[in-house]
Amino acid sequence: MTLALGPALLFCPADRPERFRGALEKADAVILDLEDAVLPESKATARGNIIDADLDPDRVIVRVNPPDSDAFVSDLSTLAQTDFRTVMVAKTQDADSLDAFDERFSVIALCETARGIHAADRIAAHPRVVAMMWGAEDLVASLGGTSSRRGDGSYRDIARYARSRVLLEAGAQGKAAIDAVHIALDDIDGLAAEAEDAAASGFAATACIHPNQVAVIREAYAADTAAVEWARSVLSAAESERGVFRFQGRMIDEPVLRHARSVLARAR
């Protein structure tokens, strides 16, 4: 599964319009954030900034406030005054709440609470949903926890479960999955490792919160030369084989060939 926007999606606070164009130039798409990045007293101004934004709507995602919040209705009214039609719904917790969007909109459901992860299968099946994303910090907070990561930087088991569930439920419905942000801005090696794992596992993109993270994510998702050459070679060899065959010391069957096709898809 692919996400046409590209692998590096950069969040930008909607109350900082001077950053909009630069963020869009640096990343594959910009996520204009009306939720956590904007203080309650600044949300009205932020909505005005989105209405005034002169940006390519095909490369803009607007993150709106949770459907059960007072701000959600105002966010929908704002979207109606723009050409932006790809919407990330913060703290999506049930599929029915997405009925607020008509066929004009494509929804990225952000599952980042215990209820949202529990309902991920039903949310992924909603006809407006084109992609799923998960979030670690809000999830752990919804459980009464204090940290999504261990001292060595690795995710705790509950976060790993949520990540896997969102990926699986998105895939089961033929939808794209987006990996969570890496909030440790100076941990470039950790970001690279997570993004490489995301790409290998089947995520279509990784969200980020700083422009310096974009190049790291793009490199992680790009197929390396050796992998591309192997994919081309094994697919070429498969044209003259029937069923399972041996190639370069490895057993090759249809699942492996699908892996090879995915490698070439990322190389395009």
- pLDDT value for 122: 98
Q: Angle at Cα 122 formed by Cα 120 and Cα 125, nearest 5°?
A: 105
Distances 17 to 48, 64, 210, 231 between C-alpha atoms, Å: 10, 16, 16, 43
Query: Of 8, 4, 44, which is closest to residue 211 (Cα–Cα)?
Result: 8
d(CA 217, CA 123): 27
d(CA 211, CA 229): 31
206 near 198, Cβ under 8 Å? yes
Q: Find all residues with CB under 8 Å of 122, minimum gap 6, and list them.
A: 94, 95
11 near 208, Cβ under 8 Å? yes
Strand partners, 251: 246
d(CA 28, CA 192): 17
- pLDDT value for 43: 98
d(CA 200, CA 259): 9
177 near 133, Cβ under 8 Å? yes
Strand partners, 107: 87, 129
Q: One digit per residue, pLDDT tens: the chain, 268 residues?
A: 446 789 999 999 999 999 999 999 999 999 999 999 999 999 999 999 999 999 999 999 999 999 999 999 999 999 999 999 999 999 999 999 999 999 999 999 999 999 999 999 999 999 999 999 999 999 999 999 999 999 999 999 999 999 999 999 999 999 999 999 999 999 999 999 999 999 999 999 999 999 999 999 999 999 777 788 888 888 888 888 888 888 888 988 888 888 888 877 776 6
DSSP 8-state assignment for residue 216: H
- For the chain, the structural domain boundaries read 8-221, 225-267
Distances 204 to 88, 179, 263 between C-alpha atoms, Å: 15, 8, 12
Query: Of 11, 9, 74, which is closest to residue 40 (Cα–Cα)?
Result: 74
- pLDDT value for 260: 85
- pLDDT value for 267: 66
Is CATH 3.20.20.60 correct for 8-221? yes
Residue with tokens 């470039």: 188
Distances 194 to 110, 180, 210 between C-alpha atoms, Å: 19, 10, 16
